[in-house]
């Protein structure tokens, strides 16, 4: 199984990629802060971490349309999102020294992203159901015509 196929089919790999990008951005922000301490503050770390949450959500939903075993994919997606949230928040708190509730705006953004993720998953499920019904109807019409 190629790396692309693993990312496409396994939400845990998607979460790992997003976590890796978060770590890379945190290191880059730390390097910029080390070079010029006045240019970047701790809130940029929270911004990059929440940006990776949004990236995971979009990435996961788009790749979810091509999955044959949707229930397993949805289950793994939710677990992957929870793991990404927990690890990223702990990492950001450790690096910045400020807890999430001290960065109130980002706490609200994370709540909104979580709600939007659940909403997107529900919409994706409805779209899949509608497409399945349409395909079945199309097949019935083709069978009747022949």
What is the distance between the alpha carbons of residues 13 and 73, in angstroms, rounded to a whole number? 12
- Residue 104 lies in domain: 3-145
Give pLDDT tens digits for 41-66: 778 888 899 999 999 999 999 998 88
Q: Tell me the mean pLDDT in the region 108-133.
A: 92
Query: Which parts of 43-103 fold into alpha helices (H)?
Result: 43-64, 70-96
Give pLDDT tens digits for 62-97: 998 888 888 899 999 999 999 999 999 999 888 888
Give pLDDT tens digits for 4-43: 788 888 899 999 999 999 999 988 888 887 887 776 677 8
At 146 the pLDDT is 67
pTM of the model: 0.85
Q: How many folded domains does the chain comprise?
A: 1
The mean pLDDT of the chain is: 88
At 79 the pLDDT is 95
- Pair 100, 38: CB distance under 8 Å: no
């Amino acid at each position: 199984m190629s790396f692309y196929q693993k990312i496409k089919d396994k939400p845990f790999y998607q979460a790992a990629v997003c976590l890796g990008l978060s770590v890379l951005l945190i290191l880059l922000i730390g390097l910029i802060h080390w070079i010029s301490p006045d240019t970047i503050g701790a809130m940029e770390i929270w911004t990059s971490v929440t940006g990776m949450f949004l990236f995971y959500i979009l990435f996961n939903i788009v790749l979810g349309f091509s999955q044959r075993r949707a229930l397993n994919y949805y289950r793994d997606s939710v677990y992957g999102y929870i793991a990404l949230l927990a690890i990223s928040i702990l990492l950001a708190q450790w690096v910045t020294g400020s807890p999430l509730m001290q960065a109130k705006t980002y706490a609200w953004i994370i709540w909104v992203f979580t709600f939007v993720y659940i909403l997107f998953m529900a919409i994706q499920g409805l779209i899949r159901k509608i497409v399945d019904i349409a395909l079945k109807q199309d097949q019935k019409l083709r069978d009747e015509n022949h």
